[in-house]
Amino acid sequence: MGNSTGNRNGDHRSRRGGDVEEITLHGHRVSYRRAGWGPAILLIHGIAGSSETWTPVIDSLAEKYTVIAPDLIGHGESAKPRGDYSLGAYASGIRDLLQAIGHERVTVVGHSLGGGIAMQLAYQFPERCDRLVLVSSGGLGREVSFLLRAATLPGSEWVIPVLASGRVLSAGNWVGGLVGRAGLRAGSDLEELWRALTSLHDAGARQAFVYTLRSIVDAGGQRVSARDRLYLAKEMPTLILWGESDRIIPAQHGEEAHEAMPGSRFETFRGAGHFPHRDDPAGFVRALDDFIRSTEAAQISDERRREMLREGE
């Protein structure tokens, strides 16, 4: 289980959803939330998001667990350098953050893009991962919302600043048509879209968004898939959570991943969209808590990993 006695270091501010702390890694500021004491849970947000997306569940989880929720590089209050925004780079950065703040092992929870990063973390550094939880995860199929596909097209760098401008956002008359075309739910999906567009008013965040998105999505859909390596998760306790009404990434991806991952669990949230942790925070916390309490942390030796790789030949 995770080390719950990590050093509190750097600047930190108390607020709902945990203390916001900062640390400098490789010369770049990394902001993260931390709350509670106990076995460690890592929460990884999606593209154009931040740790703020987890605030509805952090305080409840912190009653039993140490919760760590970083702002990924290029997002939120973390630095936004020109650099590597691949899944592998994100996974390595999170590994370094965990080590720097004193957490050796975690149950890793990833939403959307964060799900792809969570799978990459478990693939690159299985010794760091007790369990894997995928929430409306990317990287499990081709289909994805037209909004994300459109944002990868040439010239999107010039369109995004217009959409993210204060004048357009405040006008609001374009939102109805946009939501209608995308099939987004009013509520959390719309709220998070608004928050994402607001964050892209910052040039650094916009650059990171485009770099990250183009590394995983093209005009035809998601171009990075973990499906050929899901067999490696058979000895990693895995929970897959999805909103039944998700129109960003279809719940079918989760169901198919569940079938390909022996021993995994799959649960959907009725009426929830792409952000089930915001649409049903209490249900999300119950599902995650039950999963952790009823499973043993993964212990995969190098020898066993070699065996699994050869079994997959």
Would you please indicate which residues are annotated as catalytic (active-site) residues?
A: 112, 246, 274
Give the C-alpha separation, 305 to 232, whole Å: 8
In contact, 31 and 21? CB cutoff 8 Å: yes
Of 164, 204, 193, 200, the C-alpha closest to 78 is 204
Burial class (CB in 10 A: 0-12, 13-18, 19+), 98: buried
In contact, 161 and 131? CB cutoff 8 Å: no
Angle between helices 188-199 and 175-182 (to 10 degrees): 120
Gyration radius of the chain's alpha carbons = 18
In contact, 29 and 78? CB cutoff 8 Å: yes
CB neighbours (10 Å) of residue 78? 26
Q: DSSP characters for 163-197? A: HTSHHHHHH-TTHHHHHHHHTPPTTHHHHHHHHHH
Give the C-alpha separation, 207 to 83, whole Å: 10
Give the C-alpha separation, 262 to 254, whole Å: 13
How far, in whole angstroms, is CA 214 from its chain's centroid? 17
Give the C-alpha separation, 265 to 277, whole Å: 17
